[in-house]
Structures are given as C-alpha cells and as structure tokens.
Structure 1
Amino acid sequence: MTITVAGNKKEVADNLTVAQLIIDENVETPEYVTVTINDEFVKSGTFEKTTLKDGDVVEFLYFMGGGQ
C-alpha cells in the first residue's frame, strides 16, 4: 500500500502499525514524538494498535519549549 510520510510517498506493508513505522523511519527520540494521521492526533498509548491504511498521510511532530 502507499502512504505519505513527512511529505514523501512510500510503499509499505499492509497492516503496518504506527509503532512499526516509527521504527522503520528511524524516528529520533520516539518517546517524545507526536504522530498525526490525516491531520488527526494519535494517542501515544495506541501506536501498537493503530494500523495504517492505503492513502494515509502521516506526520511526526516534536513540541519544543523555550523562549522567555
């Protein structure tokens, strides 16, 4: 199936989970990543159970603090 990850189309295996995609994409500091699928936030506790579908658009987001 084809999904879009961070703006790039990719061929991936059927029934791929968000957790496996994080591993496959070598996401740095996966414990701090926020994931959206089709602009919907995915709860971090559900990455193992959330299966991607053909045509999904996935983004990895990191929220950073700082400023004054």
Structure 2
Amino acid sequence: LNESWVNNGNWEPQVIDGVTFGVKFLGSALVGKAGSAEAAEATKTVIQMVRRRLLVIYSFEHLCRLYE
C-alpha cells in the first residue's frame, strides 16, 4: 500500500481508543479464543508462512539462474 490511501481525504479512522496503523495483508491464521497470547501465536504463524513462501521463491529463482 502506498501512502496516498490514507491521505486521499476519504479515509477516517474507526478506532475509538487506541492506535491506528495501516498494514499490508500477508496472510491469515485461525485463532481458537481471544487473547494476546493467541494473537501473538497467530502472528508468528503468518510470519512463518511468509518466510517459507519467500524461501521457495528465492530457491526457484536461484535454480533458474543456474540453468541459464
């Protein structure tokens, strides 16, 4: 996401109390029950999935360069 999606004049925060921030969508994970520990585990799961995906992409690109 670029910065213009926040600064276009149409965006209004929906948070009543807390901190508003924008993030890119990386993935999703199921959370069994509400809580900060569960949210932290779900976040770790998403990050692990992204790292694996990036490793596969890097490995594929590396193999392609070997056979050029």
Structure with more contact order per residue of length (Cα contacts < 8 Å, sep ≥ 6): 1
TM-score, length of structure 1 as denominator length: 0.21
Whose strand proportion is higher, 1 or 2?
Answer: 1
TM-score for the superposition, normalised by structure 2: 0.21
Larger radius of gyration: 2
